[in-house]
Amino acid sequence: MPEVIKINIAELLTLCSDLGLAQTLRSRGGQHRNRQALDFQKDLATNTRGFQGEAAFKLWTDWQYIPPLKWLKLDGLGREDFSNEHVCIDVKATSQAHYSLMEYRAHIRPHWIYVLASTEELPVVNIRGFCTGLELRMAPQRRYGGMVIGDLGVPHGLKPHELNQDFEELLAHIRGERKLPESA
């Protein structure tokens, strides 16, 4: 069985719900970057789940006594969720353990790290694995429901068992002890 990091965020559930609501309200009247229409309830659930995954990741990294990661989304800065002087990290949260880490090619940043978390056991969030943006960009394109959108095409995705689960390696990236590959 692959290693999964389990983080209990029970005390942060209200904060994550409030942040999810604020983000959903900010986006009212617009459209998603994949050009799908806004659906308030679905967007609220997605945004809240995203903050739950990010909160779990932040707690886990804080417990590792590593250089602190700045949680950028709380400041409304940047597209990445976390960064320090060594790395940018985007946490992707899903509602089910078997869902893949997915992103559209145009949005993949080769020098970022993408982390997959799942929330099927709330208040416990499972950190399932990670990959570099370069690895995600080279991953196969996968069709799931309505994810094929115009010029964005079919998203690239890695299934949970295809992700790197060597969390010591992830910590080495965060500490700056290991560099991301320069190019494909």
Q: 130-149 pLDDT, tens per residue?
A: 999 999 999 988 776 555 55
Look at residue 180 and tell me if it is in a domain.
Answer: no
Look at residue 160 and tell me if it is in a domain.
Answer: yes
Look at residue 181 and tell me if it is in a domain.
Answer: no
Number of neighbouring beta carbons within 10 Å of residue 54:
28
Average pLDDT over residues 101-122: 92
pLDDT value at residue 149: 52
Q: Which domain holds residue 32?
A: 5-175
Q: Is the pLDDT of residue 74 over 90?
A: no
Mean of per-residue pLDDT scores for the chain: 85
pLDDT value at residue 39: 82
- Token pair of 74 as six digits: 């709380």
Task: Considering only residues 108 and 34, tell me which one the structure prediction assigns the higher pLDDT.
Answer: 108
In this structure, of 3-17, 18-32, 48-62, the range with the lowest mean pLDDT score is: 18-32
Q: Where are the alpha helices (DSSP H) in the chain?
A: 13-26, 40-63, 133-138, 167-175
Q: 28-63 pLDDT, tens per residue?
A: 766 555 556 678 898 899 999 999 999 999 999 988
Look at residue 143 and tell me if it is in a domain.
Answer: yes
Nearest to 52 by CA among 98, 119, 120, 116: 119
Look at residue 170 and tell me if it is in a domain.
Answer: yes
Domains contained in the chain, number: 1
Look at residue 183 and tell me if it is in a domain.
Answer: no
